[in-house]
């Protein structure tokens, strides 16, 4: 039963992530802003869910499933490596720092709201 | 590019279903006695290595359609890896004062994730080069 809950939550998360990522080509900024915002917002949401939801199944659906599928470490790392290979080292460092600092901060804010 | 929304959802459903449950299974299999998030770490590091390899090698090598690539990259590997759980793990280790675990987890995720993504690119380029050399020999 649990695997259905996790899978369904992750599918919704991945779909919304994909819809948002499509916007990246439409914005005139040469920086992976969308993935950055997805990961920060997803961490904030997981903080809120962790603090507010006490039902195990619902937390599995929204936390492990939805937030887990919505946020992504793979795409973030891949974008970092792309910036690195393009020799845009300052952007690479900025993306790294912004993601980790505001991601962790987002979760902490979420859990204390 | 896959256009129809219903089809996109179905492909992502398949990919995300498999990816998220692989991650979930790893979090159960690699459960540690001191609560070190080994499952999340393994999922994130292996996903960081595999994504560039898929995009820069497997896609061309096997002529994967955009549907298959969307399912495997955005769907499967995108959901297999997670950033939000990483932040939750970090906070949990910090709150419980497990400094050694926190330091190891942060180092492996921050440094390891980046290095493995670089390695995934080199792996892809190396494989492509090998294929090229082999094709020239024939």
User: Mutate which of B83, B107, B125 to disrupt the A interface (most A C-beta within 10 Å)?
Assistant: B83
Inter-CA distances, A99 with B17, B20, B84, B87, B129, Å: 25, 21, 11, 10, 34
Kindly report, residue by residue over B14-27, the tens digit of the pLDDT.
999 999 999 999 99
Burial class from Cβ neighbours inside 10 Å (0-12, 13-18, 19+) for residue B68 reads middle
**Mean pLDDT of all residues in A35-56:** 97
Query: How far B38 CA sits from the closest chain A CA (Å)?
Result: 15
Contacts of B18 in chain A (CB under 8 A): 7
* Cβ-defined contact of B9 to A15 (cutoff 8 Å): yes
* Cβ-defined contact of B87 to A99 (cutoff 8 Å): no
**Cβ–Cβ under 8 Å, residues B96 and B35:** yes
Note whether residue B125 is domain-resident: yes
Note whether residue B63 is domain-resident: yes
Kindly report, residue by residue over A94-109, the tens digit of the pLDDT.
999 999 999 999 999 9
Residue B40 has pLDDT above 90, yes or no: yes
Q: How many domains does chain A have?
A: 1
Which band of pLDDT confidence, cut at 50, 70 and 90, is reported for residue B1? low
Note whether residue B35 is domain-resident: yes
**Cβ–Cβ under 8 Å, residues A6 and A65:** yes
Q: pLDDT value at position A54?
A: 95
**Residue B100's domain spans which residues?**
5-132
Q: What CA–CA distance (Å, rounded) separates B75 from A18?
A: 9
Residue A12 has pLDDT above 70, yes or no: yes
Q: Does residue B53 belong to the interface with chain A, where contact is any CB pair within 8 Å?
A: no
- Give the sign of the dihedral formed by CA B29, CA A15, CA A59, CA A77: positive
**Cβ–Cβ under 8 Å, residues A33 and A75:** no
Note whether residue B138 is domain-resident: no
Note whether residue B137 is domain-resident: no
ipTM exceeding 0.90? yes
Burial class from Cβ neighbours inside 10 Å (0-12, 13-18, 19+) for residue B44 reads buried
Residue B107 has pLDDT above 70, yes or no: yes
**Residue A95's domain spans which residues?**
2-112
Q: How many domains does chain B have?
A: 1
**Mean pLDDT of all residues in B43-56:** 98
Q: pLDDT value at position A107?
A: 98
Which band of pLDDT confidence, cut at 50, 70 and 90, is reported for residue B4? confident
Query: Is A72 part of any known ligand binding site?
Result: no
Q: Which residues numbered 12-51 in B keep a CB inside 8 Å of some CB on A? A: 12-13, 15-21, 23-24, 27, 44, 47-48, 50-51
Q: Average pLDDT of chain A?
A: 96
Pairs across A and B, CB distance < 8 A: 165
Inter-CA distances, A39 with A2, A5, A105, Å: 24, 21, 11
* Cβ-defined contact of B8 to A15 (cutoff 8 Å): yes
**Mean pLDDT of all residues in B71-79:** 97
């Amino acid at each position: 039963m649990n695997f259905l809950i996790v899978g369904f939550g992750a599918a919704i998360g991945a779909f919304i992530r994909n819809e948002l990522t499509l916007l990246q080509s439409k914005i005139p900024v040469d920086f992976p802003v969308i993935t950055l915002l997805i990961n920060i917002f997803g961490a904030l949401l997981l903080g809120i869910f962790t603090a507010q939801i006490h039902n195990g199944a619902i937390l599995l659906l929204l936390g492990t499933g939805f937030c887990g599928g919505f946020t992504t470490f793979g795409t973030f790392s891949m974008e970092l490596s792309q910036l690195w290979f393009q020799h845009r080292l300052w952007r690479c460092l900025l993306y790294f720092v912004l993601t980790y600092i505001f991601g962790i901060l987002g979760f902490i804010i979420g859990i204390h709201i | 590019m896959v256009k129809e929304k219903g089809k996109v959802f179905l492909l992502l459903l398949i990919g995300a279903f498999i990816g998220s449950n692989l991650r979930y299974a790893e979090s159960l299999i690699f459960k540690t006695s001191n609560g070190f998030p080994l499952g999340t770490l393994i999922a994130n590091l292996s996903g960081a290595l595999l994504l560039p390899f898929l995009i820069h090698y497997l896609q061309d090598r096997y002529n994967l359609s955009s549907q298959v690539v969307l399912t495997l990259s955005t769907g499967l590997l995108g959901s297999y890896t997670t950033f939000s759980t990483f932040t939750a793990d970090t906070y949990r280790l910090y709150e419980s004062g497990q400094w050694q675990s926190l330091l190891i987890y942060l180092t492996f995720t921050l440094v390891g994730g980046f290095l493995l993504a670089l390695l995934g690119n080199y792996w892809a380029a190396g494989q492509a080069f090998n294929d090229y050399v082999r094709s020239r020999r024939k």
